[in-house]
């Protein structure tokens, strides 16, 4: 069964926001990665200033739910940040087949932002906006211990 999580986008203050959320909700910060940490050869030219922005953060709450986020800007795989596009639904699936099925279904009459493919962090991942304007990120972790 797929797991659904909130994915929040920020305009350069993701680290500050998640430090605050951690102080409010508790839990455990599972990952804090910056754009400068992306391996070379991934086709992204990142300026030193943008390199300091958060590529991905994951905060697992004591009840097992997860809040994730990143800073967004033109050229990072989606739209630049603006009020209204700053939240997505992130789905972690139990199989590649489920990921493909959900991606295909949700992308019908929508827009494909990032097709399902192997991502440098190890997941099978894709992103889209459905026909209603909702942003979705779909992921299957080969290592199911990381599929939270």
> What global pTM score does this model have?
0.70
pLDDT at 46: 76
Distance of CA 120 to the CA centre of its chain: 13
pLDDT at 84: 65
pLDDT at 80: 64
CA dihedral 91, 105, 124, 6 (to 10 degrees): -20
pLDDT at 47: 81
Q: How do residues 9-67 score in pLDDT, each as one tens digit? A: 888 889 999 999 999 889 999 998 898 888 776 666 778 888 889 999 999 999 888 99
Read off the pLDDT of each residue in 65-74 and give the average, rounded to a whole number: 85
Measure the CA–CA gap between 59 and 93, rounded to whole angstroms. 19
Q: How do residues 100-144 score in pLDDT, each as one tens digit? A: 999 999 999 999 999 999 998 899 999 999 887 888 999 999 775
Measure the CA–CA gap between 84 and 9, rounded to whole angstroms. 10
Six-digit token pair at 131?
A: 């026909």
């Amino acid at each position: 069964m797929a797991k659904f999580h909130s994915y929040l986008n920020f305009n350069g203050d993701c680290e500050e926001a998640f430090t605050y959320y951690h102080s409010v909700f508790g839990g455990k910060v599972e990952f804090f990665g910056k754009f400068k940490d992306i391996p070379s050869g991934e086709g992204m030219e990142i300026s030193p200033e943008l390199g300091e922005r958060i590529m991905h953060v994951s905060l697992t709450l004591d009840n097992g739910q997860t809040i994730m986020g990143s800073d967004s800007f033109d050229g990072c795989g989606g739209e630049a940040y603006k009020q209204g596009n700053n939240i997505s639904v992130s789905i972690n699936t139990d199989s590649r087949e489920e990921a493909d099925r959900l991606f295909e279904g949700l992308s019908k009459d929508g827009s494909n932002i990032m097709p399902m493919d192997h991502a440098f962090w190890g997941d099978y991942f894709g992103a889209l906006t459905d026909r209603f304007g909702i942003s979705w990120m779909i992921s299957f972790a080969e290592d199911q211990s990381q599929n939270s």
